[in-house]
Structure 1
Amino acid sequence: MVQDYEALVKRISEASGVGEEEIDRRVEAKRAKLSGLISKEGAAQIVATELGISFDKQTVKINQILPGMRRISLTAKIIELSQIREYQKNNRSGKVLNMVIADETGNARCVLWDTNHISLFEGGQIVKGDTVEISNASLRNSEIHLTAFSDIKKSNSLMEEVKTEIVLLEKKVLELKIADRAKVRAVIVQIFEPRFFEVCLDCGSRARQGLEGGFECEKHGSISSDKVSKRAIVNTVLDDGTETIRAVFFSDHAEKLGLSKDASDFSEKRETIIGKEAYFSGSVRQNKMFGNSEFIINGVEEVDLDRLIEKLEKKG
């Protein structure tokens, strides 16, 4: 997906015949008119519309997908496939399926909401590794979403060479936006007491305490306590000098801070974790309760000072 402003300006310029410098000037004028209340990317989309350019209803490659795009059509290979999850909302039940699709230009998370689409996976008509044709999808929070108005079908074409690695942009905390997948170099300045939850050992779904003892798995129903594992969530605050952000570590990644998987050694390790500097990678989401941004961590990498010095020397 188009991740940066410069790439977006280039696409608008190519489609309109207007120079990139002029596009950039119009974007800044639009932002000034709106008192800076809109991002550069959002202003660029408005400029594109004013130039009569619509990126909707186009067959695109993954790296050409733009924020807010609707009626997207593309062909891609399924490289990851999650388990189908059932949910209850407003007294209605439904199903959702998450997967990752890729082509030769990039990869993206894809979410299916329609039971007719999901039944193709339940029946084995579409499986991991298949190439699929998707139409009338939309982009929300950097994810491709398929609804009842969308379509997905197995493609006769084969895709052998696809980009499976997730590209993470290195950013400052101040630059992070909702739905970004990024890497930041920062210091842990606060850490809070872990919270705990149980998961089903068979499927990894959330397991909740039952009324009559035992547990209720979201997928398997009633399960015994020996089928349950305790996991931890550790909340921290990261600071890189430009801004702070709440960062959330689940069990596996909390271990990379030096904690045990169940965080039972939190009290003795707390002081050594505060002040830890590292590269933290993950995705930015909006906390539904408080409305603020939080960074969901999926990777921690030590700062290699020799590599950092070499990188700075090259820039100099």
Structure 2
Amino acid sequence: MEVEDWSINQILEKTKLTKEQIEEKIKKKIEEFPALTREAAIRSVATDNGVILIRRDYKVSDITEELNHLNLRCKIMRKFEAKEVNLRGGKSKVMNLMVGDETGQIRVVIWDTNRIAEIEKDFREGDEILIINAYSKFSSFSNSFEINIGANTLLKLIAHKETHAEADNYARISQITEENKSYKVRGFITRIFTNNTFIIRCNICGKRVDEKCDIHGDKALSKTLMISAVIDDGLSSTKVTFFDRVAEKFLGLSKEGDLRQKLNDISFGLYQVEVEAVAKSFNGILSLTARDVKPVDYSVDSSKGET
């Protein structure tokens, strides 16, 4: 099944929308934001209707079509020497890795010269690695699908030994299981919910209201910035909500510009952050309410030794 079909089916299954209604919403979303790809528009329609479409973690055997923003945990089976090739009238450097997991093997192609130098220096055959935010494409040369490392792809060496301090410092999203417990997580912001970016509260009783407080009217109302997003640590994901000054700090991590115009970039996982948060339960589902947030450098060097 194509990713687009899978995404639309997820919306069909989890909402009361018909396929025709979904297509109409996709069309309107693209008309509203012409820069959106159809894939990003589908994701936006899904999040507008409470459906989180995240399938980022793949096995080698899953990579049978062109995919964007894929994650793969694998082992380097073979590291080939980089070589120069003629490309568009000039010379370029390319390097290949053969990686594998329990389901098979696949070729990884790297064109960036700086990334090639880092891999030559720091990555060895037998190393276990995490590939985050790569893409796959069909190669007519090998007659198979390959993984390509883009400018925003993260390669992480997976440490086989971890100190207790490192283990206790950050939680995996899959380890967030207790309500009202504080957690520190690190991951990519893969999506921002662009509806309802402000909430209105009554300053007297603190109640969240639509237009006015049932008890105190509209004389003591205040607007609070509220940004909801999805954070993905490469293995799993969850919703995280930023309020007030924390929301302002979070937005300051991104490029300047209108929030809605950031949808494409942020949905592509370009921003990595560290979040201190409390787990809260809404309708029986745990999510995070952020207390603090700060950016994280996701260069290859800074990621060595992390899990």
The TM-score range, normalised by the shorter chain, is 0.3 to 0.5
TM-score (norm 1): 0.33
TM-score (norm 2): 0.34
Q: Which has the higher contact order (CA 8 A, sep 6+)?
A: 2
